[in-house]
Structure formats: structure tokens, C-alpha cells
Structure 1
Amino acid sequence: MASLSSLRSINKMSRFLFSKSLTHSKLRKLWLSTLSSLVGEKNLILMGPPGSGKTSVGRVLGQKLGCPVIDVDDDVLEKTWNTSVSDKLQDVGDEQFLEEEGKAFLKFSASGSVISLTGSNPLHPSSMEHTKKNGIVVYLDVHSQDIIERLERMKVDRIVGQRSGTSIGDILKKRKRFYKKWHDVRVLCQTGDCVEVVADKVIDAVKRYQHAESETFVSTRCQEPNEKQSKFFSDVVIEGLAGDGGLYVPRSGLPKLTAGEWRRLVDLLYVERAQIILERCIHPDDVPPVVLGEILEKAYGDNFSCNKIAPVRHLSGNQFILELFHGPTASFKDLALQFMPHIFAYCIPKVCNNLVLVATSGDTGSAVLDGFSRLSDLDKRRIAVFCLYPENGISQVQKSQIIACQGDNGLAVGVETDFDFCQKAIKEMFTNPEFTGYLTAEYGTSLSTANSINWARLLPQIVYHASAYLDLVDQGFLTFGSPVDVCIPTGNFGNIMAALYAKQMGIPIRKFICASNQNHILTDFIKSGLYDLRGRKLLPSFSPAIDILKSSNLERYLHMIANQDERLVNKLYSQLDSQGYFQLPESVLRLLQQDLIGDWCSETDCVSAIRAVYDATGYILDTHTAVAKVVADRVQDRTCPVIISCTAHYSKFAPVILQALRVEEIKQNPLTQLHVLNSFHPLPPAHKSLLGMLKDSHHHKSHMCPADSSHVMALVENYLQSLFLKVQ
């Protein structure tokens, strides 16, 4: 089976040969020939509901591209049947109409044309497979209310399902899944878009579809970025960390949606928002929209306890809580790690084994292990997870949960050290060519990572920050375009980096409030521009997920605000590795301080905040969210709403929560602690998946090792021996 890179080479060569074969086609004006190369001998197929403008847009595209236009209703069906579509539907009824429509379309063939489908063509699978073989299917995604109003004005009465008494709204809702299944390209149409504007959007979208090389990634440390060093999305998902030790970022930044396009997403479900946003960020050459849609349905389905996935709750005053704990492992990591394993399994070559290495300061471990355990049985036979966590640096509930999440393809090891060692050990394995080469040669195994250094882990986090803003618009707290601040408890800078990317895509976030605990290296850095690890020791805290001194994703942010100056980033991080510190240039620090505010919260203030919020509202914050609440109260100016990221369910930190609620005698058993918490009848209620995992943890074995890199590497090899046979 060909590798992904060789398939790309073949694809590029075939495109080249195909374009050469068109050189001697009949001459057109230069502008026409330039546009017509979009089509060549392929068809441009317009798909969408009745009233979406397929016929009108098709005619304009035909003029712009200088190619034939075929309307399936008029030029195929009515000529085949010798009767109008309306009369045919009246005569035979819905089911027979769909069957005869499909048969007629199966006999039809064309090339180099713009084809406007009927609204019901996508309901017939074999005819759509037939037409996709020689065409690019463009979905004209028009708001349902706009469609309904257009159809009422036009008095349309020839829609399949209409005469059974089903409302147009229900018909459109049912058909959406068929349009999602078949499209190659989506054009998000806004209210008021004229036909010319939509046609131009189609041309832009098809240009993007045909030029995958325009959406590549580079390392934050690559000092001479060129085409050879550029990577495609699939490559960066597989590799995780760049070979030079840097992090992958999009060469041209992320796409920006217009205000009108964002408004189109306001009344959509989370999964629908996610698909539209991620379709813009992932080229269809890497992950086709139909595959992306299937993955999103798996990622954000019954495994989440709330159908809103990441709901926003008003706390008090101008403060809102973004609840990110409704996934199976009760933390915000689920929003990425129920998605990423399926993307990873799709992108990697099928002929090779993969070991996902991950370091966790608490929540990531269980989320990675759970997410990869949900892969198909076939994928689990070639993809496994090896997780390191600080043995005494996470809560008892988190540890029990990590142990419980070990499955057929997952192993967790507690290390007698802190998180920074775990993260360093993972990076050392990645950047050790002898070790990686040995694993490839002996076990046919490649290494990757699911930490937020992997782009596929960070990317889906952008969605929930955007979705939170859209929810406030939908609930009437904002009009689109009004600013918000976000306050995020962070140690590794990944969650706040995703919010910064949401702003880059067009969400009007004003300030990013970075909330730290007593390990406040990020707060100090934001205020001074000095990142200083010298003599600094990690202090265990009530909020262990942000007990981090070396913030990986900060590197992506510095690369962004330094205008992609890879040489500067390389210089800064080389100095950090060799001398333990770096100082930002003054010009870059000024840019950073335009975005970021930083402050920190003591352990005492954290506990006091949990108690105060519960007394005032009945809502229980987890320890990390309490840190963010304290910092938001201290630094936010209250001139606009602030969204506080609630990154975990409070049950994970039960002893501290019980202390805050002034429970005098706290039992050691985690399950007992959770039952006591539930007796307070709190908001939010108990997390059922978490309770189930804790009950199951005693069935799984725990593993420990010393803080020694060579010992960790030996454990990795032993684990591979138990999973994959040696290459003969």
C-alpha cells in the first residue's frame, strides 16, 4: 500500500499531467481560460436544498468559467420523462419519484460542465456516487429560514415530502445529513448574498480545494522555511513534534470567517459549528468533509452528558462559566481527545504501528487513554498509548481515573517526580534518532503525541471558545461584534492559545486573562517579558493541572506575535534550554501585553472563592476554575462580559472542595468523598461517568518508575514487546 507522501506525489503528478493535456483545448480569452482550469474536464456540481439558488448560481458560473451549464430538472429529468417534474411527482408519489429520478441521473454523463442538481438528488446514493466520479460537489449551505422564505415567495409545490404534510423546515432538517455526506466543498451563504457573490464564493472554495499545497505547516523553530520543510495537516498529526524541537503552526495562519458567516453559526448545534469551523482549517485532501463529519458525530455524541457539549452558564454580574467538563473523563481535555484519536487513526498509514506518548499533569492522561480506547478494534491493534504522570503530583481521584482508563491499548506509569520531568522525558524520546530508529526497525512502530504540542489536539479547542461566544449571542447577552474577555486557568498555555486562535478566526475577544496558581511563571512573564526557570521549583498546589513551569504552547504564541520570526523563537528557546531563561525584545513584549493580562491566586484565596461562590449561587467551582474566578475578579474591568473557562468537574478535587465547604472529617476513599459532595445537592450535579470510573479503578493495575529517562525508555520498549511482534 502506498504511503501518504507517495500518494500525494502521485496526486500532484496526475494533476500536472491533466493540466498539460488541456493546453491545446480551444482558445478562450485569458481570464476565461484561467477560470476554466478550475473545471478542466471535471464537472462543477452544485448541491443544496430547493431554493438555495443552484440554478441561478450555475448560470453565472457558466458565464464566468466559459463552460456548459446543465440544470438536472430541466435538461435531464424533464427531457427523459417528457413531462414536468411537478407533474411526475404528482403522478408517482415520493418514493417512486426518488427511484426514477436516481435511475435517470445514472444514465446521464457530462464533462467540463456546471451541473445544478435537484434538491433531492443527494437522497439517491448510487446516482451521487456516479456523478462524484467526475466532479467536485459544492454544497450551497443556505440558512433554513432564508430557504423557507424564498420557497414561500416562489410558491414551490414540487418538493419530495411536501405533500405528505411534512413542514418545509422538517424536510430541510432531514436532508442536511445527505448534503453533509456528499459534499467536497461547502459554501456558507449569508442572508442577502446576491447570485454574483455566491458564484465568486464557489470559485474561491474550488480554488482552495484544488490547491492543497497552499495550506501547509512549518515549525516555530525552522530558520529557513521553504517548501521542502512544509508539512501537510496529515503529516503534523502523525509527527506531533517537529524534528527541530519546535511546534507546528499553519504557514499562512488560520482562515478568518466574516461576521456574516459567524452569524450563520449562531443557532446551530455544537457539532454543526465544529464541522463548519474545522472544514475551514483542515484541507479536504487530508480529511474529506464526509469523514470529518463522521468523526465529529463519534466525538460529540452520547459520550457527553450534556447535549450542548460545552454550555455557557451565567454565574453572576458580567461573569459567565464555560462548562468544559461534560465529557467522559470530566475535564476540558475531552473536547479535544474524543476527537483527536479518530483523526489520528485516519491520517496515519495503515501499514505501521503507532505509539502515542503523553505526559499529564492530571486530566490529559485519562482523557487520552479513554479517547484512544474508543477506536475501532482494528485501529486499536495498531495504535497504543503510553502515559506518564507525576505519582504524587495529581489528585487521588485523577490518579484513580487514569488507572481505570487503561485498556487493551493503553498503559499509564506514575513517575516519582513532577510534570516537567514527564514532559521532558517525552520530548527526549521524540528527539532521540537512535531510539526512534530502533523502535521503527525492531517493532515497525512510530512515535507520536497527544499532548497539546500536537496540532490536532489544539485545533478542536478553538471550537469551544468560538461556540461560547456564539451561545452568548444566541441567548441575547451580546450582539455579534461586541467584545468579551476570556479568563483561563493555564499552565501549558494550550487552552488560552486556542482562544487566541479563535480571535484570529474572527471571534471578537478583547483581552485574554491568564490565571496562574502559586506556580506563577506565566504571570511573571506577561508582566516583565522575562521567562526565568533559574532556581525555580515547582510547588504542589490544589490546582495540579496548571502546576507547570515550562509552558509548551507559549512558543506558538511568540511565533505568532513576532510575525513568524523563526530565528527569534529558536534563539529564545535555545537560550531557555541552555541558560534557563530568556528575555523578550521590548517590541514583542508590547504586542504580548496588548493581548494578555496575567495574575495569580494563592491557595487560601482559591479555597475562599469556592466557598463564596457556593454560598452566593449554589454552584461549586473546581480548584482551577476558582483560580480563574479570583483572577477575573481582580483584573477584569467589568466593561464587557468575561467568560471563565471551567476546566474540570469539582469532584476530581473532592478533598479541597470538602475543605472549602467546611466538612470537618474528610474520608480518604474517593468514592465516599463524592457521595458526601452529592449530599450538598450542588450545581452542577454529580458526574456519572466519573463515578463509574472510580468504581472500576480497582480492577486495573498501577505502575510506577523512578525519574530516570533511560528507565522510561526501557518501559516503552517492554510495552511494545507486549503489543507488537518484532519485525522479522
Structure 2
Amino acid sequence: MINYLSTRNKNTTATPTMAILNGLAPDGGLYVPSDLSALKIDYRDVINMDYRGMARVIFGRFFPDFGEEEIARIVEASYADKFTAEEITPLVPVGDRYVLELFHGPTCAFKDVALSALPNFMVSAARLNDFNDEILILTATSGDTGSAALHGFSDVPGTRIIVFYPEHGISDSQRLQMTTQQGKNTCACAVRGNFDDAQNGVKRIFTEIPRPAEGVSLSSANSINIGRLVPQVVYYFAAYAALVKAGRIQAGDPVDYTVPTGNFGDIMAGFFAREMGLPVGRLVCASNKNDVLTEFLTTGHYNRVREFHKTTSPSMDILISSNLERLLYFVCGPEQTASYMKALSETGEYTITEEELAKIQSLFTGICASEEEGASAIGEVFREHGYLLDTHTSIAWAAAEKYQGDSPNVILSTASPYKFSRAVMTAIGMEPAESDQENMQKLEAGTGIAAPAPLKAIFQLEVRHKDVIEKDEMMQYVKDRSVR
């Protein structure tokens, strides 16, 4: 059976279900499969299945200790009647490109695909391991993970969840989605700082107080949790299947994927899809003005000591890309990865070898796009095709235009444009109003494109979560709320 190792020490191991429960390895590393070859499947069989069938095969390969029957139950519980699109993640042709719409879930962002599954994984894993502690989900968010995690874990038995988000730098709609969330076990708290401050605080808490109170253990809903990352692998197969079904490619043809990413999780799922056997051509990593990943993928130098920019694509406003550590493990090994992570922590930078960079560049391309290029893409795509991009997908669109590869290019669309209505309106030449609610209404009326019902509903809900703390108060905050 496949086992899981820490990216920083191959002797730190866990079963698949315990890797999900733990979230983060005790040495601060991320869990990765011990044997990538054990993930191999015949993709030709998988792409002939519906989305749930694909999920059953892929989940079962990564997490065999659940057993086939339990995996089938988890898939059904995760995806039945939760998405407005029958295909879960429909592939839409826009001009000569393809947009993979990942925002048809309950919070209108791609995180729903994985965070519909993670609570079911976690509850089942606890039962299978006779794990009796209450599970406290601790999560940092740059915008979308928080609302999807809060929704996914709301009133899930045996769990509580605390989400930390930057006080400024996210849209009003993103904030309202978190602060109005129902559920007796949910908590959202603003941090005076940026996403990296919140994420660093969460990692420190995991390392220093993994059991913050008697009978309470921490786990994570961020993509540092392998149970959050694996469900994202499925939609790479779904996109490929849709291209084959449409006659755009033959099975075996390579397909490029352009991914707007800050934390490197969504694109890391593409790496795992390729390792499973899917004919992935290139993975194009699209960054906004916070271009730390573009620099790394181009030069091999990772440097978080730089100016932090607040942009209209806030979920990408990240300078420490946690999931990159998983890629480093597969390229460099655990000892070197631990050394690089130590340097990043102590000096804010590290540089990999030319040989290591060459291995990464054989699959990944890093391209950044400016605020202006993203806004221009929104305007041009709407005028030419009547299609509305959000501010993150527009960065990926602009990056794909710069890349211009020979293979079909699937652009991962990570959020509904109505989550960022002010910026989208400005990009298409409309005058925004004062509030997100007004902007949603004006954008809907001006484009004829319906706003998602869950987003329109948030303005009528009571704000329940109002806490704002300093970044160095996070640990005490968790301790205070861990008392059962």
C-alpha cells in the first residue's frame, strides 16, 4: 500500500488516512506519496468515466486504505447536489482557447471542488483510525479557501474550524462569504497583515501546539493537506476527457494547462495528474505582480524579500508558495528540500542548482501578467466573445497569450467574476458603484450574465464573525478557542 512521507525527512511517515488527519507533518514538512509509480493508471479508461467515476479511481489510488466502498460513499457525499453544473467542472470553448470553469460550487470558487470532499475524508479517516480527538481545522486564506472551508466543515460532527484572513486586500464579497457563515463550529478572524503573515502563523501553531487543548488535535484545510490537494487532480482528467469527447484531440495528444496560482497547490495537482499518466504537455504557472514564482521558475532563485503588492487578484497575492515544497521534494530529495526551507525561513531566499532547475523547466513555465494586462484581457474577451473572466482567470488568459504553445491550452478559471465585480466592471468600461451588492446588480444588468445565487444571497445575511487580531496573537487566539 502507498505510504506518505514528509518532504523534509523520508523517515517521517504516515498512512494515507493519517496524512489527511495530520494535515502537516510534525517536522513542518508536507506529506507526499512515497512512490509516484504506484499512482499510475490507464488514463484511457478513466477519461471514459463521468466525473464521479474519475474521482473514485483517483481517490482510491492516492488513499487506498479507505477501501473501495468507503471511497464510493465519500465521492457520492461530496458531489451529489452540490454543484450547479452537471459536469461539476465544465470546459467552455472561448475563441481558440478553453476555459475550465471550476466555480460552480456553493461558494463560487475552485476551492469548493476539494473542500466538498475533505470533510468527508477527514470524518471517515478519524473513524477508521479510532481517532477520538475533536479535530480543529486551522486555515489561512487569501480569499477563497476560507469561505469554501467554512462552508464545507459547517456543523460537520467532531470538527471545528478557524479561518484566518488578511484584514485588507480581499474583496468585500469574499469577506462577507466568511463573516456571514452559519454553523456553530465555525469561526473567521481577520489578521492585521497579509496572507503570508496568516499562513506563517498557522504553520507555527501546527509545529508548536499540534494539540492546543486536551482532546483537541489540529488539522488543515489548506492545500498543504494532501486530502485537499488530491481532489483537484480530478478536473485535469475531466478537462482532457472533454477535449477528446469534443473531437479537439485524440487520446494521447498533449494538452497544456495554464493555472493562475499563488500557493502552487492547483498547479501541483496538474503535476500529480501527469505522474498518474495523463498526457499533460506543459504546466504554465501564471502569476500576477507578486511574481515570486515566475522568477523562481525562470532563474531557480526563490526570494520572498520583496515588495508585497495588493492587487485585484488577491488570491494570488502570496510570496511564500507552500506547495512548491512538494515539487522540490520530487526534484531535490528530502535533505536538500529541508535545507532550502531552512534558508527560506532564516534568510527569505534560496537558489536551487542548474540541474534541479532544468528538471523543473522540463514541465513548468512561469509567466507573470500585470494588473493592466489582466484588465485588458477581461475587456477584450468580453467584447470579442461575450465571456466574462474574473480577475484571476484573466491573469492566466494573459499568460497563455504570452506563452503561445502548439498544444491545446486549457485555462483554469478559479472564481466567478461576480466575486470581484468592481474590478471586472472597470475592466469592461462600466462605472462601479459604492458597494459590491450594487456592482453585482449593475454587472448582471449590463452584461446579461446571471450572478450566482449564493453570492447574491450573502448581502442579506447577518455578519457573525467580527474578530480582528494582530498576527502575533494568533496562537493565543487558537488556544482560547480550543477549550472544549
TM-score by length of 2: 0.96
Equivalence for 2:90: 311
2:471 aligned counterpart, secondary structure: coil
Verify: 1:373 aligned to 2:135, yes or no: no
2:337 aligned partner: 569
Asked if 1:352 corresponds to 2:352, the answer is no
> By how many angstroms is 1:584 displaced?
0.5
Deviation at 1:661, TM superposition (A): 1.9
- The equivalent residue for 1:654 is 421
How big is each residue's C-alpha offset from its partner over 1:356-386, in whole Å with a ceiling of 9 and x where there is no partner? Answer: 10000000000000001163xxx1xx21001
Say whether 1:497 aligns with 2:276. Answer: no
User: Residue 256 of structure 1: CA displacement?
Assistant: 4.6
Aligned residues of 1:359 and 1:423 also touching (Cα < 8 A): yes
2:89 aligns to what SS in structure 1? Answer: coil
In structure 1, stretches of 5+ residues that fail to align are: 1-211
Q: Distance in 1 between matches of 2:144 and 2:28?
A: 24
Map 1:206-225; keep pairs closer than 5 Å: 212=1, 215-222=2-9, 225=10
Q: Give the length in aligned residue pairs.
A: 481
Give runs of aligned pairs for residues 369-518 of structure 1, distance below 5 A.
369-373=150-154, 375=156, 379=157, 382-432=158-208, 435-437=209-211, 439-441=212-214, 444-518=215-289
Q: Partners of 2:322 and 2:45 in 1: how far apart?
A: 34
1:695 and 2:460 are equivalent in the alignment:
yes
Q: Structure 1 residue aligned with 2:66, among 264, 269, 287?
A: 287
Per-residue CA distance 1:616-659 (angstroms, 9 max, x = gap): 0110000000000001001122x210000000000000100111
Asked if 1:583 corresponds to 2:357, the answer is no
Whole-angstrom CA distance in 1 between matches of 2:172 and 2:249: 40
Q: Distance in 2 between matches of 1:608 and 1:289?
A: 47
* 2:466 partner SS: coil
What is the deviation of 1:350? 4.8
- Cα 1:277–1:480 change in 2 (3 A) is same
Distance 1:690 1:255 in 2: 41
> 3-state DSSP class of the match of 1:467?
helix
The C-alpha deviation readout for 1:340-368, integer Å capped at 9, x for no partner, is 01110111245211111000000000000
Q: Verify: 1:238 aligned to 2:43, yes or no.
A: no
Instruction: Answer yes or no: is 1:529 the counterpart of 2:300.
Output: yes
SS of equivalent residue, structure 1 residue 679? helix
Runs of 4+ displaced beyond 4 Å: none
Residue 707, structure 1, aligned to residue 471, structure 2: yes
Structure 1 residue 475 displacement after superposition: 1.6
Indicate conservation of the 8 Å contact 2:391/2:420, yes or no. Answer: yes
Q: Is the counterpart of residue 337 in structure 1 residue 104 in structure 2?
A: no
Q: Identify the residue that residue 131 of structure 1 maps to in structure 2.
A: none
- 1:50-77 CA-partner distances (Å, limit 9, x unpaired): xxxxxxxxxxxxxxxxxxxxxxxxxxxx
Cα offset, 1:707, TM superposition: 2.3
Tell me how far apart the structure 2 counterparts of residues 674 and 242 of structure 1 sit (CA, whole Å): 42
Deviations 1:271-305 (A, max 9, x none): 1111122222211xx31222211211121121111
Deviation at 1:413, TM superposition (A): 0.2
- Cα distance, 1:406 vs. partner? 4.3
Residue-by-residue CA offset, 1:217-271 (whole Å, 9 max, x unaligned)? 111100xx34xx321011111111111111110111253545xx32223342211
User: Which runs of 5 or more structure 2 residues have no equivalent in the other structure?
Assistant: none
Rg larger in 1 or in 2? Answer: 1
1:163-312 equivalence runs, <5 A: 212=1, 215-222=2-9, 225-226=10-11, 229-253=12-36, 255-258=38-41, 261-283=42-64, 286-312=65-91
1:12 alignment counterpart: none
Residues 273 and 602 of structure 1: CA distance in aligned 2, closer, same or farther (over 3 Å): same
| 1:644-679 CA distance string (max 9 Å, x none) | 000000000010011112122x22222221111111
1:669 to 418, 428, 435: 435
Name the SS for the 2:137 alignment partner: strand
Contact map agreement 1:330 1:648 (CA 8 A) in 2: yes
Structure 1 position 626 matched with structure 2 position 394: yes
Judge conservation of contact 1:406–1:412 (CA < 8 Å) in 2: no
Q: Deviations over 1:507-529 (max 9, x none)?
A: 11111111000000000111100
1:340/1:456 contact within 8 Å kept: yes
Match of 2:320 in 1: 550
CA distance in 2: counterparts of 1:679 and 1:255, whole angstroms = 51
Matched-pair contact (CA < 8 Å) for 1:249–1:455: yes
> 1: CA distance between counterparts of 2:457 and 2:49?
32
What's the RMSD between the two structures over aligned residues?
1.4
In structure 2, what is the Cα distance between the partners aligned to 1:268 and 1:312? 16
The 1:575–1:257 alpha-carbon spacing in structure 2 relative to 1, beyond 3 Å, is closer
Q: Which amino acid aligns with 1:255?
A: A
C-alpha separation in 1, matches of 2:246 and 2:448: 24
Letter in 2 for 1:547: D
In structure 2, the CA distance between the partners of 1:279 and 1:545, relative to structure 1 (3 Å rule), is same
- Give 1:419 shift: 0.3
Is residue 2:483 matched to residue 1:718? no
What is the distance in 1 between the residues matched to 2:39 and 2:334? 23
1:641 to 404, 408, 415: 408
Distance 1:701 1:243, change over 3 A: closer
Amino acid at match of 1:714: Q
Higher relative contact order (CA 8 A, sep 6+): 2
**Deviation (angstroms), 1:694:** 3.4
- Give the conservation status (yes or no) of the 8 Å contact 1:619–1:682: no
Counterpart for residue 89 of structure 1? none
- Determine if contact 1:217/1:230 at 8 Å carries over to the other structure: yes
8 Å CA contact retained: 2:378, 2:424: yes
Task: Report the Cα distance in structure 1 between the residues aligned to 2:330 and 2:54, rounded to whole angstroms.
Answer: 25
The equivalent of 1:105 in structure 2 is none
Closer, same or farther in 2 for the Cα pair 1:309/1:560, shift >3 Å?
same
Q: Report the Cα distance in structure 2 between the residues aligned to 1:714 and 1:219, rounded to whole angstroms.
A: 27
Output the CA distance in 2 between the equivalents of 1:477 and 1:635: 20
Deviation, structure 1 residue 596: 1.1
Deviation by residue 1:419-468 (Cα, 9 ceiling, x = unmatched):
00000000111111xx345x243xx1011111100000001100111111
Supply the AA of the counterpart residue of 2:101. Answer: E
Instruction: Give the whole-Å Cα distance in 2 for the aligned partners of 1:474 and 1:694.
Output: 40
SS in 1 for 2:82: coil
Superimposed CA distance per residue, residues 548-592 of structure 1 (whole angstroms, 9 cap, x where no aligned partner): 000000010111123xx1111111111111111111111101111
Once the two structures are aligned, what percentage of the paired residues are identical?
Answer: 36
What amino acid is the match of 2:479?
A: E
In structure 2, what is the Cα distance between the partners aligned to 1:406 and 1:595? 42
Q: Which amino acid is 2:60 matched to?
A: E
The answer to whether the 8 A contact 1:487-1:643 is kept is yes
Q: TM-score, normalised by structure 1?
A: 0.65
